[in-house]
Each structure stands twice: as structure tokens, then as C-alpha cells.
Amino acid sequence: MMFPETRLRRLRYNSVLRDMVTETKLSVDDLVMPLFVCAGTNVRNPISSMPGNFQLSVENLVEECKDVVASGVKAVLLFGIPAEKDEDGTVACQHNGIVQQAIRAIKAELPNLYIIADVCNCEYTTHGHCGTIIDGDVDNDTTLETLAAQSVSLAESGADMIAPSDMMDGRVGRIREALDENKFEKIPIMAYSAKYASGFYGPFREAAESAPKFGNRATYQMNPANSDEAMREVELDIAEGADIVMVKPALSFLDIIYRVKTEFKMPTAAYNVSGEFSMLKAAAEKDWIDGPRVMMEILTSIKRAGADIIITYSAVDAAKILNGIKG
């Protein structure tokens, strides 16, 4: 039937009915809050390009996690800023590494908070690249060994999930092998499978102090123009043992999220990255947009595209809206 028998507005006149026929419903269960932990005590350094986010020393991170839990968010993703860096990132593999300390401290007070540990070397190397530099570029296979050691160390500290973000070839398989060899076969891997060489990472690099000192990351992160290549990356990660695959960034790559979910039917995460967050905050600050409304619209679009898990700096704010918490 056509108009006038069919009138699609009939489903829109009443708010109760609109809620009944809503196709995509965002849930607090979808959200993961990224946090930055740094060396020192009583540190709460505001991240200027990411309003409301901070570099936190371990004790302040624990307090921040309590606020996360109070909002209803059940999972955090941890990034570390160490006191000292080295050439190959082995500082990230130490028993008393900054993220390892943070995991133990959080678990001591919030044992049910789900902790996802990012695995990469960019925050830990003096040059800011994601692995060991040989002949002017990141050496893939040498870097795999550091990533595997870092993953085992984080699992030993109590991480619930390992999330390699480096984009080295073969890293999921090597990490899975190392975890299993060390009796961590129950620890899942969430792979940053389709991670693009994006301009949206700028505020994060301030937050994590991880900007490369030379060149860029185009030899290991993906070309933003490519879609089929992302499917190959995802397929390889699944074959190597990834339990969850991720697309990063999210907002400019909704088509990639849709393709990944449609083609592979795998648990799919999307990272609503720092630049996306900061653009929203800047526009809202100037009263150009309704910040909370646009935030929820963005997150809903990411879920509508196919994401099961949304990593976002808006997690706590969105959870408060979803749970009807004021303030």
C-alpha cells in the first residue's frame, strides 16, 4: 500500500509508541570507559584537549574507577604513562609497570570492575612508535615478542582482557600463544583489527604522551581510504584467535563497522576516539550543538552500524543519561 493508506507518521505521534518501535537501543552494558594512569602520587593532570579527562596517579585512578562504577559502567580500558621510557617498550613488561600497578590497585578495591588492558609500545618508547625501530621503521617480528611479554605481565597482574592496538602482523597469534603457554587460556583478546592511520588521534597523543618523534604510523596502521583491506585484517585476526574485533576510529568508519559485523558475525567493538570526543565538546562549549543530545546520537549511530561494544570517553556521561542519574 501507498499513501494515504500508509502513513509512517502514525508510529511517531506518541512517545510511548516511538519507544516501542525503536530499532536500536543503547545500553550501559555496551560502554567502556578509557582511562589514563601515570606515575607519581596525588596526580590529577587535566588533559587540555579532552575536557573532563585526566592523567591520574594510581590512587586517584582507583577513585575515578569508583565514579565509573557508580554511573553504571562496568568496564574500563587502561593506558599507561610511565615515569621512564626506553627504546623498545620493555618497561611495559615489568611486574611493577604503571598499568600493572593500577590493575592490582583497582582489583583490590573494585574486584568486579572489568579491566581491559591496552597492549602497545607507543606510550613506553622514547621515539613514540609502536615497536622496536630497526633501519628507521618498526620491526614487526621483534616487536611481537615485546607485545607477548607485555600481555602476559598484564594478565599476571589481573587484567580481564588483553587488547593489542599496535597493528603488527601476527600479533594476535603470538599473544594468544604466550597467554596459553602461561595458563591464561581463559583471558580473551580484543584485537584492534581495523585501526586506521587517522588524524582523529591527536588529543589521545597528548593524553598518553605517545606522539611519534619522527615520521608517522602509516607503515603499520591502515589507509583510511581502504575498506576491503580491513576485512582481510579482521579475517586474519579471527584466524589467529581474536575473540573480539575492533574498528578504530568509529564515527568516520561506520561503514567498516557495518561490514565487519555483517560479514563475520563476530563480537565487534568500536572506538569512539579522542578527536571525535573533542570535536563534540568544542562545539557544545560554543553552544553550536546540544552536547548531550548529539553525544547520544553519535553513540546510537555506532551501535546501529553493528558495534556490540563502544569504547568512548563519553561512557560515564552517557551512562548517567541512560540510568537517569543527574549531575
Annotated binding site: 120, 122, 130, 205, 217, 233, 274, 313
Q: Is the dihedral of CA 32, 166, 82, 152 positive or negative?
A: positive
What does the DSSP assignment read for 161-178?
EEEE-S--TTHHHHHHHH
Q: pTM of the entire structure? A: 0.96
Tens digits of residue pLDDT in 123-178: 888 776 777 777 878 889 999 999 999 999 999 999 999 999 998 999 999 999 99
Band of pLDDT at residue 56, cut at 50, 70 and 90? very high
Interstrand relation of 31-38 and 44-46 (parallel, antiparallel or unpaired): unpaired
Please report the domains of the chain, with CATH numbers, ordered by start residue: 24-323 (3.20.20.70)
Annotated binding site for 5-aminolevulinate: 205, 217, 274, 313
CA 29 to centroid of chain Cα atoms: 15
Tens digits of residue pLDDT in 215-267: 667 788 899 999 999 999 999 999 999 999 999 999 999 999 999 999 999 99
Give the mean pLDDT of 36-57: 95
Beta bridge partners of 38: 81
C-alpha cell at 157: 597482574
Share of the chain above pLDDT 90, in %: 82
Tens digits of residue pLDDT in 77-125: 999 998 888 878 888 889 999 999 999 999 999 999 999 999 988 788 8
C-alpha cell at 227: 575498506
Cis-peptide, bond into residue 212, ω within 30° of zero? no
C-alpha cell at 139: 620491526
CA 162 to centroid of chain Cα atoms: 11
Q: Give the residue numbers marked as catalytic.
A: 195, 248
* Strand positions, DSSP E, 2-155: 31-38, 44-46, 54-56, 75-81, 114-119, 133-134, 137-138
Q: For the chain, how are helix, strand and coil distributed in percent, rounded to 5? A: 45, 20, 40
Annotated binding site for Mg(2+): 233
Which has the closest alpha carbon to 105: 161, 33, 159?
159
